[in-house]
Amino acid sequence: MKSYIIYGVAEEQGDEFRSRLNETLGVVLVAHESSYRGVYYRAGSTGEEHIILQPNYLSQDDEWIDEEHKEYPLLLYVNETLRPDELDKLLSGKIPSLTKLKREDL
């Protein structure tokens, strides 16, 4: 079963936060740009576990990605993971500024 988890990031921490995520998860988040997400960071590919870090507010569109959680300037998506409990424990233990907003198991 694959899981999809969304975390809110309490503080916008930029490069330092991405470095901490890279180290904690053993990934390299690479910058991308799209008309939907704006500038965002991604590690991994669709069809396997992948991580996306993106702004919650898109200033170019004057639009919130997650309007219910405007208090979080960044959203972290952990998609298609087979190890949701392991990652949740790892992230919550090493990065206290993260809050789990949603988890869906498919």
Interval 46-83: pLDDT, tens: 899 999 999 999 888 899 999 999 999 999 999 999 99
Sign of CA dihedral 98, 63, 22, 82: positive
Q: Which domain holds residue 30?
A: 3-105
Three-state DSSP at 36 gives: coil
pLDDT at residue 78 in the model: 97
Give the orientation angle of helix 14-25 with respect to helix 84-94, to 10 degrees. 130
The CATH number of residue 28's host domain is 3.30.160.110
pLDDT at residue 34 in the model: 82
Q: What is the mean pLDDT of the chain?
A: 91
Mean pLDDT of 71-98: 93
Q: What is the pLDDT of residues 16-29, one digit of tens each?
A: 888 989 999 999 99
pLDDT at residue 12 in the model: 64
Within 13 Å, how many C-alpha atoms sit on residue 97's CB side?
16
DSSP annotation string for 62-97: TEESSGGGTT-SEEEEEEEES-HHHHHHHHHHH-TT
Domain count, the chain: 1
Whole-prediction pTM value?
0.91
